[in-house]
Chains A and B, each alone.
Chain A
């Protein structure tokens, strides 16, 4: 028994260590945040605002890493916040963390839910306890009255922007390999939905439609399989950068040219810095942004509430761009790469 306790203590210490390390403080990426209000009404009152932030694991993706860094940077002591962080990719663990934050009497609960369902009870508890909830990045299936605001990326719009760009390319024929993310995730639904609809309208051929679960290796295998089966295609629509990278590895192996003015158009999402550099080198054609910098939006809302105002909009959709390899500049890479 004693041993087991010791071990579990060791394990949790390790976890905590990793977590602290994961939230490293060097933040070269988060440069894009629009100027936050300089005069900080909260700091002047002398009391720190307690916020509990529930997020997905920052190691999940480059997006999440940038997102977490951005939040860490904004909700610090200097800005008048006393922030605690909890990370999990599992809904039940997140709900437990939320309950703990409510017990700790935080003023604000910031939430990026792993799953859309199951939040009603805990959010009602929060309301009873006077904790204000702000959702970021992910929406949930709960009544709007249970939260102050929701700051989200509109994935369907991201997908639509990309598909509109693809329509604008005016290809003779559209034969598309569609690499999907983890099925059922908001990003997958939004990005797949736009392509599915347009492909049906315009009579495009979807050569292969398969989930690579955001995984580069799986994407490589799927594209490899399409090549080995002798399928003809001229567009790769990958729902994130990693999968686009895997696809390109398969293309390189088969000596199929890709990029601006080449045989195959490569499209990715998320605007990782290395992906934008591929665009700059004209090896890829398009990359859609998924804006991870919500913290300034959240801070605006908290400032509004703290100064007694009301939030006019429940759902705030962030600005997101799509980059074309023929027009992207080094400046874009520096500003928008995550």
Chain B
């Protein structure tokens, strides 16, 4: 059983804040916010305008951030659980999004790539897509849990083959979903000025919160990640729990896929959700979670995801030269990670001191 880290030792409020894991992404967010405030306060302007369909929508850089960051935040939920339980990351989520999106389009468009009307209700399409991506999640989970292959190696299979499978599902055609309703998920529901992806994300957060509160999946996946043997001795089934986390990630992938495909009503197998797996892993890391499993803080991961989008939007806003963009991003990420490192190190050394005296700290150096 894991025990929550006691903020003991007479820490003041500030020390407690520092010790809290969510401090890391929060500080990063503040840093970015202050930078933008100093450089150009209009960054924070939010306006209410009509879109071309005539409905009022909110717009502004902040809205763009919560809009586009939501997919990543939803993925970060699943990735955090997978990281905690299996002590590794799923690098196939981008490819899995392509598959799930492709299945969705296949169901909605049927065999015709340019149908006049949708061939099936959206909910049916989504359920089929979710089933497919959970099946692929289970495939990864079985490899990791029962065959004991390292997560990164196991998911490499789908990472390599996924986009080709996605293309194959639709016969390498690029179907286009007709109708306005399908665009709601990646855009706006008429009359509601908040971007739908953010609403979906909030729903996912609430569901996750309920799941962590009323089921033991959070506790179990942490204990499996910390010590599989002990968990087994305590009557848990580590394999099943790992598998569960991968299936949950599969569901997150399906939701993300729905939003991504809905944004443009179509798909491009090779570029949809490109490199998103790295951003999802980065979100988990920015949340101050150990990438080698065990304890996690879900809220910190989610905040980490929005920090990444905040950074991206900031770089676009300041017209950073196209060729230099990845370099800037790398510099900021390095800065954030280094910034967060001593805190993590301090935490770990304290945790290590508690558990047993020597040896643990150097693993994380």
Binding site for B on A (CB under 8 A): 3-4, 7, 10-11, 14-15, 17-19, 21-22, 24, 26, 57-62, 65, 180, 183, 208-211, 213-217, 220-222, 224-225, 227-230, 242, 245-246, 249, 251-257, 272, 274
Q: How far is the CA of A215 from the CA of B263 in the complex (A)?
A: 12
Interchain CB contact under 8 A, B57 and A21: no
Not counting A15-B164, A221-B64, A253-B57, a sample of 15 additional A-B residue pairs whose C-beta atoms are within 8 angstroms of each other reads: A3-B149, A21-B164, A21-B167, A21-B172, A58-B167, A59-B164, A210-B316, A213-B274, A216-B271, A217-B68, A220-B264, A221-B68, A221-B313, A225-B64, A229-B61
Closest B residue to A257 by beta carbon equals: B52
Is there contact, CB below 8 Å, between A220 and B164?
no
Whether the pair B271, A213 counts as a contact (CB closer than 8 A) is: yes
Q: Using Cβ atoms and an 8 Å threshold, which residues of chain B touch A59?
A: 163-164, 166-167, 172, 269-270
| Pair A10/B157 contact, Cβ less than 8 Å | yes
B341 at the A interface (CB under 8 A): no
Inter-chain CA distance A213–B325, complex, in Å, is 12
Would A7 and B143 count as touching, CB distance under 8 A? yes
Q: Which of B310-327 contact A (CB under 8 A)?
A: 312-313, 316-317, 319, 322-323, 325
Contact flag A21-B171 (CB < 8 Å), given A11-B157, A209-B322, A217-B263: yes
Give the residues in chain A near B164, CB-CB below 8 Å. 15, 18-19, 21-22, 57, 59
B residues 40-69 with Cβ under 8 Å of A? 42, 45, 49-53, 57, 59-61, 64, 68
Which residues of the other chain, A, contact B161 by a CB distance below 8 angstroms?
Answer: 11, 14-15, 18
Chain B min CB distance to A159 (Å): 16
- A interface secondary structure, majority: helix
Min CB distance B1 to A, Å, is 33
CB distance from A8 to the nearest CB of B (A): 9
Tell me whether A227 and B172 are in contact (CB under 8 A).
no
Interface residues of B in 130-145 (CB under 8 A from A): 143
Residues of A close to B114: CB separation below 8 A: 274
Nearest Cβ in chain B — how far from A188, in angstroms?
9
Evaluate contact between B52 and A214: CB separation under 8 angstroms: no
Q: Beyond A19-B164, A22-B164, A62-B174, is A7–B157 a contact (Cβ under 8 Å)?
A: yes
Q: Name the contact of A249 in the complex, choosing from B45, B59, B143, B264 (C-beta under 8 A).
A: B264
Q: Shortest 3 CB-CB distances between A and B: which pairs?
A: A18-B164, A21-B168, A211-B322
Complex contacts, A58 vs chain B, CB 8 Å: 167, 172
Instruction: Name the residue on B nearest A246 (C-beta).
Output: B264
Do A225 and B316 touch across chains, with their CB atoms under 8 A apart?
A: yes
Sample 24 A-B pairs with CB under 8 A, ordered by A number.
A7-B149, A10-B157, A17-B168, A18-B164, A18-B167, A21-B167, A21-B172, A24-B172, A57-B270, A58-B167, A59-B172, A60-B270, A61-B270, A183-B323, A213-B274, A216-B271, A217-B68, A217-B272, A229-B42, A246-B264, A249-B264, A253-B187, A254-B49, A274-B114
